[in-house]
């Protein structure tokens, strides 16, 4: 089945005008056949909920990148969902970036999340642009817009990006990316609704009014707390950690998982109440907890959501966050992307 329909920027604009929240899920390309099975099981579950889009992360290293292209192409061709392909500037010349963009276009992918990527030496090391490549996501937005035909999204940071001097810089850069042609943004994960509101207000001060989709991920085991702190770039709020610890004492792993999902649903409700245009759920390819968040919020038809939740058995303390599984790196802006092979 080929995905057709309106460009994503129009879909998001229509949702915004009607007040209906967008719903999207993020996946990473599988490393092997077993991973492929897990990915496709999750994709089929979320497909039943008719998400606005699903996005596929882009890793470091050639074969990882090829897998991103393949997985995104498969979503475009074999599901009813709109894929958003991530693309980074890491270790790529302009010509290589154009080639990947061409592959996406050939595959029927019309939406790209334009990212700079973390420094090739790992987060915390200085960023080095490829000699013939690009230095910022802003330049990648400009490249994509010059090639035409793509809805372009960008990253946004409720916690300060570690290379930014302050939150104001993050807001200014987001506004620059919007002015260059980005029509939506997805945030790094975070756990306090006020951070999203502050970012959006600051960006509005710079004339930016594109939809900024909050990126959420449920903490489903206490072991994930330090991992998620590194991913989000800030400590998990102490009241949430205390709540999870109390759950562990009272009901063990299953209760931690239940409370983690509940807390994420509460955060989602607060964000939607505050005017967020939708929610973007990081799945790490296991959609179970994300689907439970959708169900708790009543974002989709209850029968369909209940069926999708039932189809993915709950796994107490399951590897929704396994850093080893995702190749997540231990510094601030690390994103749950696949490791290089």
Annotated catalytic residues are 26
Q: Is 118 in the site for ligand FAD (CB under 6 A)?
A: yes
Query: 298, 304 in Cβ contact below 8 A?
Result: no
Q: Which CB atom, from 3 or from 169, has the smaller least distance to ligand FAD? A: 169
* From candidates 48, 105, 176, 316, binder to ligand FAD by CB under 6 A: 176
- The yes or no reply on residue 329 touching ligand FAD (CB under 6 A) is no
DSSP 197-217: HHHHHHHHHTT--S-EEEEE-
Kind and range of the H or E element at 124?
none
Of the two residues 251 and 322, which places its CB atom closer to ligand FAD in the complex? 322
Q: How far is the CB of 169 from ligand FAD (least distance, A)?
A: 5
Q: Which residue among 91, 93, 169, 248 contacts ligand FAD (CB under 6 A)?
A: 169
- We find the least distance from the C-beta atom of residue 55 to ligand FAD, in angstroms, to be 8
Sequence-distant (6+) residues with CB within 8 A of 282 are: 26, 189, 215, 216, 217, 290, 336
Please identify, using beta-carbon distances, which residue of 136 and 315 lies nearer to ligand FAD.
136
Binders of ligand FAD among residues 186 to 225 (CB under 6 A) are 186-188, 215
Q: Which is nearer to ligand FAD, 48 or 127 (CB)?
A: 127
Asked if 338 interacts with ligand FAD (CB under 6 A), we say no
Q: Which is nearer to ligand FAD, 183 or 305 (CB)?
A: 183
User: Cβ 136 to ligand FAD, closest distance in Å?
Assistant: 4
Helix residue ranges per DSSP H, the chain: 8-18, 33-47, 62-78, 94-106, 137-147, 167-179, 193-205, 224-232, 238-273, 288-297, 302-311, 323-326
Rounded CA-CA distance 146/300 in Å is 37
Q: How far is the CB of 28 from ligand FAD (least distance, A)?
A: 8
Nearer to ligand FAD, 71 or 113 (CB): 113
The interface with ligand FAD within residues 54-93 (CB under 6 A) comprises 57-58, 86, 88
The secondary structure element, H or E, covering residue 157 is none
Work out whether strand 151-156 and strand 22-27 pair parallel, antiparallel, or are unpaired.
Answer: unpaired
268: helix, strand or coil: helix
Binding segment toward ligand FAD, per CB under 6 A, in 6-14, 70-78, 167-175, 315-323: 167-175
The CB-of-273 to ligand FAD minimum distance in angstroms stands at 22
C-alpha 323/C-alpha 339 separation (Å) is 10
Instruction: Single out the residue of 39, 23, 96 nearest to residue 338, CA to CA.
Output: 39
Tokens 């372009």 belong to residue: 152
DSSP conformational letter for 88:
E
CB count in 10 Å sphere of residue 209: 12
Q: Name residues contacting ligand FAD, limited to 97-116 (CB under 6 A).
A: 113, 115-116
* Residue ranges in contact with ligand FAD by CB under 6 A: 57-58, 86, 88, 113, 115-118, 136-138, 155, 161, 163-164, 169-170, 173, 176, 186-188, 215, 333, 335, 337
């Amino acid at each position: 089945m080929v995905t057709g329909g309106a460009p994503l920027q129009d879909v998001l604009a229509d949702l915004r005008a009607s007040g209906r929240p967008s719903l999207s899920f993020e996946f990473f390309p599988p490393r092997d056949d077993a991973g492929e099975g897990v990915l496709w099981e999750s994709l089929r579950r979320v497909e039943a909920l008719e998400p606005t889009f699903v996005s596929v992360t882009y890793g470091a290293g050639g074969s990882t990148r090829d897998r991103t292209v393949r997985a995104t192409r498969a979503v475009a061709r074999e599901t009813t969902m709109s894929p958003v392909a991530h693309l980074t500037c890491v270790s790529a010349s302009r010509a290589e970036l154009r080639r990947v963009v061409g592959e996406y276009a050939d595959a029927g992918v019309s939406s790209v999340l334009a990212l700079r990527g973390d420094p090739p030496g790992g987060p915390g090391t200085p960023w080095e642009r490829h000699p013939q490549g690009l230095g910022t996501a802003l330049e990648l937005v400009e490249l994509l817009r010059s090639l035409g035909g793509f809805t372009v999204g960008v990253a946004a940071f409720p916690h300060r990006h570690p290379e930014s001097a302050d939150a104001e810089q993050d807001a200014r850069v987001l506004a620059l990316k919007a002015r260059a042609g980005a029509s939506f943004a997805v945030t790094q994960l975070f756990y306090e609704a006020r951070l999203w509101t502050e970012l959006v207000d600051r960006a509005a001060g710079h004339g930016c009014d594109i939809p900024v989709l909050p990126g959420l991920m449920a903490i489903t085991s206490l072991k994930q707390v330090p991992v998620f702190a590194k991913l989000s770039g800030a400590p998990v709020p102490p009241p949430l950690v205390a709540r999870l610890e109390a759950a562990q004492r009272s009901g063990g792993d299953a209760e931690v998982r239940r409370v983690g999902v509940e807390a994420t649903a509460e955060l989602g409700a607060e964000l939607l109440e505050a005017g967020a245009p939708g929610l973007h759920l990081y799945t790490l390819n296991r959609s179970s907890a994300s689907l439970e968040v959708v169900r708790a919020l009543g974002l989709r038809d209850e029968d369909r959501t209940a069926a999708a939740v039932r189809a993915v058995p709950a796994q107490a303390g399951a590897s929704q966050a396994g850093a080893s599984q995702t190749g997540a790196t231990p510094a601030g802006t690390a994103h749950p992307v696949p490791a290089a092979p």
